[in-house]
Amino acid sequence: MDHFTYKNGALYAEDVALADIAKAVGTPFYCYSTATLVRHFRVFKEALADNNALIAYAVKANDTLAVLKTLAQEGSGADVVSGGEIHAALAAGIAPRSIVFSGVGKTRAEMEYALSQDIFQFNVESEAELHLLSTIASSLKKTAPIALRVNPDVIPQTHAKISTGQKESKFGVPIGEALALYANAAQLPGINVQGVSVHIGSQLTNLAPFASAFGRVVELVRELRKNGSAITTLDLGGGLGIPYGNTDAPPLPEAYAEIVKTATKGVDCRLIFEPGRVIVGNAGILVTEVIYVKHSETRRFIIVDAGMNDLARPTLYNAWHDIVPVKVDENAKTERVDVVGPVCETGDIFASDRLLRVPNAGDLLVFRSAGAYGASMASTYNARPLIPEVMVNGGEYAVVRKRQTYEELMQRDMLPDWL
Q: Give the number of C-alpha atoms closer than 13 A to the C-alpha of residue 43, restricted to the C-beta side.
A: 17
Question: Could you say which of 128, 344, 383, 414 is catalytic?
Answer: 344
- Sign for the CA dihedral angle at 67, 20, 290, 336 comes to positive
For residue 401, what are the CA distances in angstroms to 37, 252, 322, 381, 386? Answer: 17, 32, 24, 19, 9
CA dist 175 and 148 (Å) reads 10
For residue 359, what are the CA distances in angstroms to 19, 140, 306, 339? Answer: 15, 61, 15, 11
Tell me, yes or no, if 31 is annotated catalytic. no
Q: Give the number of C-alpha atoms closer than 13 A to the C-alpha of residue 232, restricted to the C-beta side.
A: 8
Query: In terms of Cα–Cα distance, which of 88, 183, 149 is closest to 272?
Result: 149
Amino acid at 212: S
Q: Which helix (H) or strand (E) holds 121?
A: strand 121-124
- Give catalytic residues, as residue numbers: 344
